Amino acid sequence: MGFSTLELCAGAGGQAIGLERAGFACAAAVEIDPHACATLRANRPAWSVLEGDLRSFDTRPYRGVELVAGGVSCPPFSVAGKQLGGDDERDLFVS
């Protein structure tokens, strides 16, 4: 019997694929970027890829998932971005 995971801010699926290799089944992958979602759908067509804003995502259908994992959006803080922090619309940290 395997475990299931709900991937938040899934990106192109690097972490989710690692979890898959560790024996987890992906219940769903949530991502806002359409290009990343297209990559996920192309590489893992059997996965449920949910494209949309995490702030309006309904978690209720995923009760019982053993692991909630994710790479919370880093562009607001990354040196590769504009480093807008809390002023960036992608900032998911509540201050």
42 lies in a domain? yes
Span 78-89, mean pLDDT?
A: 64
In tens, the pLDDT along 14-36 reads 999 999 999 999 999 999 889 99
Q: What's the CATH code of the domain at 10?
A: 3.40.50.150
C-alpha distances out from residue 26 to 21, 30, 62, 87, 88, Å? 11, 11, 11, 32, 29
The residue whose two tokens read 């067509």 is 45
Q: What is the mean pLDDT of the chain?
A: 85
Domain that includes residue 17, residue range: 3-58+65-87
94 lies in a domain? no
35 lies in a domain? yes
Q: Are 76 and 90 in contact (CB under 8 A)?
A: yes
How many structural domains compose the chain?
1
How many percent of the chain have pLDDT more than 70? 74
pTM summary value: 0.79
95 lies in a domain? no
Catalytic amino acids?
A: 74
Q: Which amino acid is at 67?
A: L
